[in-house]
Amino acid sequence: MKRKKNQMTMTPRGSKSSAGESWYTLRAKARGVVDLMLCGDIGAWGITANQFARDLKALGDVSQINLHIHSPGGDVFEGMAMYNLLKAHPARIEGFVDGLAASMGSVILMACDTISMPENAMIMVHKPWGIQGGDAEDLRRYADLLDKVEDSLVMAYVAKTGKTADEIHALLKDETWMNGTEAVVAGFADTVIEPIKAAAHINSNRMQEFTNMPEAFKKLWEPRGSTTPPAPAPTPAPAPAPAPAGSVLTPDQIRAQVMLEDTERRTAITAAFGLGGFSVPHAELLNTCLADMNCGVEMAREKLLVALGKDTTPTGGSTPRHPGHVSNGNLVGDSVRASLVSRTGQGEIQKDNAYNYMSLRELARASLQDRGILVATLAPMQMVGMAFTHDTSDFGNILVDIAAASVLQGWEEAEETFHLWTKTGRLSDFKTAKRVGMGEFPSLREVRPGAEYKYITTGDRGETIRLATYGELFSITRQAILNDDLDQLTTIPKRMGEAARGTIGDLVYDTLINNENLSDSKKLFDASRKNLFTGAGSALSIESLSKAKTAMALQKNQTEGGKARTLNIRPGFVLVPVALEDKAKQLIRSASVPGAETNAGIDNPIRNFAEVIAEPRLDDNSSTAWYLAAKKGSDTIEVAYLDGVELPYLEQQNGFTNDGVISKVRIDAGVAPLDSRGLNKSNGA
C-alpha cells in the first residue's frame, strides 16, 4: 500500500536530541506577562503537554501570554491537550506566527485571542494521517479514529474563523497554505505585520511530507549572509548491515518477522495498561496505541499518564470543552459531581460527561490524576486516601454533598404528620424562651377625647421553650469507595434524614400523649380547663365531636380582673390513632348521620369541619383516645428551630486520623405546648 503524504501524523516523528531539548520554551517577560516559544515538532524528545501544564502553573498568576509559533506540527493528542490548556487559561493570549504554523501548530494557534503574522509567513491546515497494520477490521477502526480526530480539529478552526465545518473540511482536504493576507481574509489571523527576511531552520523530516508548500515560502529557509559559507560535509547515512551469505529472507519470512515484532509490541502495551487496571476505563486510548505501529510500550505509558481525562474535542464557542459536565469552571470536580448525581438518581445524566458510569474508585483516581497528580505508583487504598486528603482534590467534599442531598431527600420523604398541624417557630440561641399564649390580652379599652392611652399589663405568665441538639455520625470509608458501595452515599444518609424528622415527630407526640404540666402547674389536658373528656360519651361519634368542637369555641382568655372574652377557637384537625382513621373520616365526610334512612333529609352537622390526621404513635398509647387541634399557626404545640432552619445539615471531618470521611447529621430543635385552649382530648370508651 502506497503511503500517502500531505497528512498529519498522529505520533511525534522528531529525532532524539540532547538532554534538555524541548519543543517549547516558557519565559517570564514582565510582571504577569509570559513569552511562550513553540518551535519544532510538537511532542518530540519526550517533552509532553503535561510538563507544559506544570511549567505554566509554576509561573503563578499570569495576565498575558505571548505565543510565538514556528512549527511544522506534531502529535495530535499532545497538541489538543496544549490547545485546551491555553483555551482554558484566564490570561489574554497574543499569537504570533514567526515563520510557519502548520498542521497541529495551526490548531494550537487557534487558542489565541488575537493572531498576528507577517505577510510572507504561512499557516497550513490539512487532514490527519497515520500508519496502521492489521486486518480489514483494524483498518476500518483506524479510519473511524482518523475521522474523529479530524472533527476535533475542525471545531477548533470553526471556533476561530467563523467558517462552517464543511468549509473547513474542504480546506483540510486540499492541504491549504495561507500567507498573512490570505489568513486574515479567511479568519485564521487578525493582523498582518512586517514581513520576515528569513525563517529559522526547523530540523524536522516532517517538512518533506508537505507536497503543496509554495515555492516562495521554501526560499525563506535558504541561509542568508554576506558570504556563502562552505557547505557542510554531509553525514552519510549508515548503510544497512549486509545479510550473511545464504541468509537472504524471503517475503514470507520478512512478513512473519514484522508480525512477530508487532505482536510483541501489542502484548507489552496491553500488559502496561492492564497492570494499573486501565484497560477498561481507557479502552479507546489503548486501542489507539495498539493501532499505531510506531507507538512502543514506553510511548504508550507516557500517553497513559498524560492523556488520561484530557479532552480532544473543543467546543465551538469561547469556552473550551472538557470531557464532562461543566457548570462553574471546576472542570474535573463538576464532572465527578455530575456523574455521582446521575448514578445516585439525584439528577439526570449529562450526555457530554466522560465520567458517566465510572465507579467510585475510578472517580477518586480522576479527581487526582486529571488535575495532574501522579497516582500510577500508588496502591488502591493509598490512592483513595489521597483523594480524600489532597488539597487539590475535592473528592471528599463531593461525596459529602451527595450524602447531604440524600439526607434531605430522606427528610422530605419521611412519613410524618406533625408538621401538618403544629406551629413552626424560630429561636436565635439555646436559652430558655417564653411564649405568650392566645387570649392573654383583654379587649381594648375606650380612649375618650383628650384622654391618654394606657399600657396593657401582660404579667409573667407564659410557656417556656428551649432548643436541644439531636444528631448521629456516619462514615464514608475508603473500603466503601473501593467496593463501589453507593449505599454509603444514598441509603444510609437517607435513613438518617428520615430519622431526623422522626425525632421531631417523637418529641411532638410525646408532648401530646404524656400530658405534662404547664406553667400554671396544671396538666395540658385537664377537666378544669374544659379540654379533657372522659367516660362513655367521649367515644368517637358525631355527638362527642360536636361537644369537643363547642367546648373549644367557648374557651375564654385569661385575665386578671375584668370580663373574660370568648376566644371562638375553631378546630382545624382531628388527631386519631390509625385504628380510628376510617371511622373518623366516615363521620366527618358523610353527608348524613349514621343510622339515618336513605334520603331522610338529615344533614351531618359536623360535615368537613376539620381534617383527619391518623398517627400510629397514638395507637401505641391508646387505640380509642383522640384529639382536636386548632388550625395551623394557632397556639397549640410549637416546633422551634435554630435561626428558623428547618432542615438537618451535615458537618464533615476528614484527614489522617479517620479512614475516609466522617459526617455528622445534626438538627437543632425544641418542642413545647403553647396553650391548652387550642387543644382538647377525648379518652374514648
Question: Which stretches of 559-631 are DSSP H helices?
Answer: 581-589, 616-621
Distance between CA atoms of residues 598 and 272, nearest Å:
86
How many alpha carbons fall within 13 Å on the CB side of residue 344? 30
| Pairwise CA distance, residues 89 & 37, whole Å | 17
Beta bridge partners of 178: 123
User: Of 71, 103, 663, 676, which one is the catalytic site residue?
Assistant: 103
Structural contact between residues 418 and 403, judged by C-beta atoms closer than 8 angstroms: no
Q: Which of 440, 569, 575, 583 is nearest to 508 (CA)?
A: 575
Grid coordinates given for 455: 399600657
Contacts of residues 254-262 at CB distance under 8 Å and 24 or more positions apart, as own/partner, are: 258/133, 262/133, 262/293
Residue 235's Cβ-count burial label (10 Å; 0-12, 13-18, 19+) is exposed
Catalytic residue among 68, 126, 282, 325: 126
**Cα–Cα distance for residue pair 356/399, rounded to 1 Å:** 16
| CB neighbour list of residue 473: distance below 8 Å, 6 or more residues apart | 662, 663, 664, 665
In the residue annotation, 126 being an active-site residue is answered as yes
Burial letters for 44-59: b for 16+ Cβ neighbours within 10 Å, e otherwise? bbbbbbbebbebbeee
Is 249 exposed, middle or buried, given 0-12, 13-18 or 19+ CB atoms closer than 10 A? exposed
Burial 135-167 (b: 16+ CB within 10 A, else e): eeeeeebbeebbeebbebbbbbbbbbbebeeeb
**Chain center to CA of 491:** 20
- Spatial separation of the C-alpha atoms in residues 407 and 647, rounded to whole Å: 9
- For residue 453, count other CB atoms closer than 10 A to its CB: 8
| DSSP code of residue 349 | -
- C-alpha cell recorded at residue 445: 379599652
Residues 321 and 313 sit within 8 Å (Cβ to Cβ): yes
Q: Position of cell 434524614?
A: 497
Nine-digit cell string for 315: 467546543
Concatenating the DSSP letter of every residue in 136-165 gives HHHHHHHHHHHHHHHHHHHHHHHHHH---H
Contacting residues for 331 by C-beta, under 8 A, at least 6 apart: 88, 322, 324
In degrees and rounded to multiples of 5, residue 287 shows phi and psi of: -65, -35
Compute the residue count for the chain.
Answer: 685
Q: Which ranges of 162-198 would DSSP assign to H, the alpha helix?
A: 165-173, 180-186
Cell numbers given for 333: 470536580
The backbone torsions φ and ψ at residue 95, rounded to the nearest 5 degrees and listed phi first, read -105, 140
Q: What is the residue whose three cell numbers read 505508583?
A: 377
CA-closest candidate to residue 125, choices 162, 73, 84: 73
Cβ burial of 232 (10 Å; 0-12, 13-18, 19+) is exposed
22 in active site: no
Please tell me the distance from the alpha carbon of residue 312 to that of residue 310, in angstroms, as a whole number.
Answer: 7
What the block records as the C-alpha cell of 120 is 510572507
Catalytic residues: 103, 126
